[in-house]
Amino acid sequence: SGDMNKFIAITANKNEAQKFNFKYITEFDKEIGGRYSIWSRISFAAAFFAMPENHENTFDNFCLGGSIADSLISDDEDYQKFVKMLAFSDIWFHNFKEKNTRAILCYDWKLRSLPNYFQQLEMESLGKRPSKNSEFEKTGQIIFGGYGPTAQHSYFQLLHQGTQNICADIILNQENEYNGLAYSQGITQARLLSEGAKTLLKDEETINGNVPVNLFIFDGIDAKKLGFLIATWEYRVFITSVMLQINPFDQFGVNAGKIYTKKYQIKKD
């Protein structure tokens, strides 16, 4: 119909899209997994509508940030060491310190949904059975988190006084240092989680402390820096998968749900 001229179909199955009379169809390879598709044409439509006025190159800058990480992982020894340290510590905490859960907390409103993205990236990539040849029995950690100031009113009680063995990633924007409560909260929580507190609190109020924290501090946030951070996290996950000797790109657990849902629907009909 004429209305379909107003839509763009972004698909790996062009023939199916043509059945709906889409005039504009753009394709991507079937091999592009969902959690790694953010750099592809799949993201273009969302990026187009998200671009502020006079910032037509936002998506290009986002991809540029990712490509800088691509270059550094090949050529820059300091960057390689940084990403390896993240990956190795994840494996170490999980396998030898029994920390099977990691909280990811963002203290900038613009990045409030980032922990959801990282949750899928990590748990879908690393949520596999251990390799028979690996010295490590535990693979991916449980990842959860969100916007830090909101989290203080939900699960922070457990982080500070509960009995779970956890670690944390905290992401801050230094631009907010002098005029934002969120930045102060993020710095404070990083210190309380890692160092605990010995003053100002009664015995029953004492918090656990000794929670390992990775602190990521942005010097301002823009599309390029966000692209760089996400690509860095992807390399963190990939290096972890190589060390664990598992494939981060398959998702048989996800597919099983789809297969049996179809079977159930056929039975029902």
Q: Is 97 designated active site?
A: no
**Which of 26-63 are b and which e, b meaning 16 or more Cβ less than 10 Å from the residue's Cβ?**
eeeeeeeeebbebbebbbeeebeeeeeeeeeebbeebb
Q: Which one of 94, 122, 124, 128 is the catalytic residue?
A: 124
Contact 12, 30 (CB under 8 A): yes
Q: Which one of 19, 30, 153, 198 is the catalytic residue?
A: 153
Q: Is 124 designated active site?
A: yes
User: Among candidates 54, 64, 29, 48, which has minimal Cα distance to 226?
Assistant: 64
Contacts of 154 (CB under 8 A, 6+ apart): none
Q: Which one of 81, 110, 258, 262 is the catalytic residue?
A: 258
User: Among candidates 188, 184, 213, 187, which has minimal Cα distance to 200?
Assistant: 188
Q: Is 98 designated active site?
A: no
Round to whole Å and give the CA distance between 227 and 236. Answer: 14
Residue positions annotated with a catalytic role: 124, 153, 258
